[in-house]
Structure 1
């Protein structure tokens, strides 16, 4: 057993992580005939809390117990895979994909290289239409370790993907091959988007356009990351490098469902307070994007169809004809009807 380094004082924070994940790590200790007491003490987790189904720990405690268990077990898979992954395995995987030109290539390489380290579980990247899917296929039943297995692997690759492109990658959903656990309320904190249980395999889903983003990190950044990689989660990334494009798409394809910031934010799976801040970071504003998309849609319909002005207004995302005419005059200095007539000349 390796000697554990001393942990700095743990910062305070909300206790949101289910104790069930720690119980799985304790099982891995038992299978190896080792004592988890030192790791639990380092993370300030009382042994009597382990069997409490309502118990939760903070993110800092989860970081400490995970790191300690990985070192003492010499297994970064925490006993979940068909073979142990020695300390440093995931750093090796991350470095092996660092030279990839795009995120899509980096993730394909990562999944392929992961299969060289362990044959079960098997992570794969799949693309269908405009949705990317990272699935974790279990070749055997890990039993009580299933939840820890798929959660840790999916969060690992999702966090690394965000880090590679220096961007938050919001999830459209996640799925898991087991029934909803007693602590199902914690899943929205672990994964963006709705979670589905009882699926054939575990997976996360996101917009496939993120796969085309360039890998923005270098060797220096990688070295810094590996000094403290465990806190790597999507929540540390506020920037979304595709947010402007995603806003445009929702406004163009679902105009009636995006009348206000709250509705639009719900469609994009971000908070109504976060959306304008992130757009500002990208040098855009919600109103400017609305005007751009609505104007483009309205002028296209006015030019290419003979729809009545009221129908054009609705199709462009306006709640009534009067507000559309007022906005169109602000854009062009003409009413929609006059503009259409002038273009026909």
Structure 2
């Protein structure tokens, strides 16, 4: 099956935006019928007209999805919503979250969660893998999930990603999401649900993200968990504002792409956020974009001046400046010296 990538600009809808495919509601209604139950009460509670289930491209809001899913899980006593060969009784995912709460960092917590999920069902196996700077949560399928396959893979990945963000009290931006099924008619929704870049027709379902998030310590306790479990489902549909690694990610992008990050717009595009979100989140972390630019450029320029014989013009370009004049002005502001004076003073006498 060929892999097809689908990318759209960042577009995170509010909880009131009707962006969730109605096909997910059809899957939940089908779970009711397989259990010999009538879904009409749950649909009414979520304010989803039964006729909407038959609209090919129908949409519902995140709140409607939350209400429908939560009601179905409790009424059917199955948090897997009929997808697995045995039920996942109500409270199963809360148990997994509690079992990982004592982990020293996110990486250990996610590995525990994945291992314990395997005790609930062997139909799918989750694991956390990392290679270099990138980590991934992956799902290997060991049973036929039938008509519920697409919804189940989406549901499980949204669940563990939302929990991961909650554990460390940070947005964990996804670099890519991959799914082992063809692009559905509503493929444009997947970048909203997961990441700016989504690949269909992949070998397995997975979420890819910066591996440094795995080292973040957990910031939650038992009291916070009990409170969260009273309304856990919003974790799967709402984005965290805070990104505890954003400052590091900005530094890395500025250092790796000095000529492509002159503007906030270009840098934001590289980080898959909007310029407004970039400035707001940096402010939340007590940093500014200009301050980080100065920090990264100064370190790069100082290194080149001290360790290489490159002309000042080349040092300016390598440090991310558009011209030599602006570099000299900035360097004098940092050190009180011109780049040439700094280099001459630092060189040992002949």
Task: Give the structure-1-normalised TM-score.
Answer: 0.95
What is aligned with 2:9? Answer: none
Q: Please tell me whether the aligned partners of residues 16 and 61 of structure 2 are also in contact (alpha carbons under 8 angstroms).
A: yes
Are 1:267 and 2:273 matched, yes or no?
no
What is aligned with 1:60? Answer: 63
CA deviations over 1:104-154 (Å, ceiling 9, x no partner): 100010000000111111111001111110001111232321111111000
What is aligned with 2:289? Answer: 286
| Aligned-partner SS, 1:87 | coil
Return the match for 2:247 from 237, 244, 259.
244
Inter-CA distance 138–259: structure 2 relative to 1 (3 Å threshold): same
CA distance in 2, matches of 1:227, 1:335: 60
Structure 2: any 5+ residue segments left out of the alignment? Answer: 1-13
What is aligned with 2:164? Answer: 161
Are 1:317 and 2:320 matched, yes or no?
yes
What is aligned with 1:100? Answer: 103
CA RMSD of aligned residues (A): 1.3
What is aligned with 1:7? Answer: none
| Aligned-partner SS, 1:277 | helix
Residue correspondences, number: 335
**Offset of 1:12 from its aligned partner?**
8.0
CA deviations over 1:212-261 (Å, ceiling 9, x no partner): 11111000001101111111137342111111111111111111121111
CA distance in 1, matches of 2:35, 2:280: 49
What is aligned with 1:132? Answer: 135
CA distance in 2, matches of 1:120, 1:319: 56
Return the match for 2:119 from 112, 116, 119.
116
Name the structure, 1 or 2, with higher relative contact order (CA <8 Å, separation 6+).
2
CA distance in 1, matches of 2:286, 2:275: 18
Instruction: Say which is worse superposed, 235-244 or 203-212, in terms of deviation.
Output: 235-244
Q: Please tell me whether the aligned partners of residues 166 and 239 of structure 1 are also in contact (alpha carbons under 8 angstroms).
A: yes
Are 1:89 and 2:92 matched, yes or no?
yes
CA distance in 2, matches of 1:120, 1:242: 34
What is aligned with 2:31? Answer: 28
Instruction: Say which is worse superposed, 181-190 or 159-168, in terms of deviation.
Output: 181-190
Instruction: Say which is worse superposed, 46-55 or 86-95, in terms of deviation.
Output: 46-55
CA distance in 2, matches of 1:127, 1:74: 35
What is aligned with 1:8? Answer: none
| Aligned-partner SS, 2:275 | coil
| Structural mapping, 1:105-254, within 5 Å | 105-233=108-236, 235-254=238-257
Q: Please tell me whether the aligned partners of residues 171 and 204 of structure 1 are also in contact (alpha carbons under 8 angstroms).
A: yes
Task: Give the structure-2-normalised TM-score.
Answer: 0.93
**Which portions of structure 1, spanning 4 or more consecutive aligned residues, are displaced by more than 2 angstroms?**
233-236
Structure 1: any 5+ residue segments left out of the alignment? Answer: 1-10
What is aligned with 1:327? Answer: 330
CA distance in 2, matches of 1:305, 1:235: 48
What is aligned with 1:71? Answer: 74
**Offset of 1:192 from its aligned partner?**
2.2
**Offset of 1:14 from its aligned partner?**
1.6
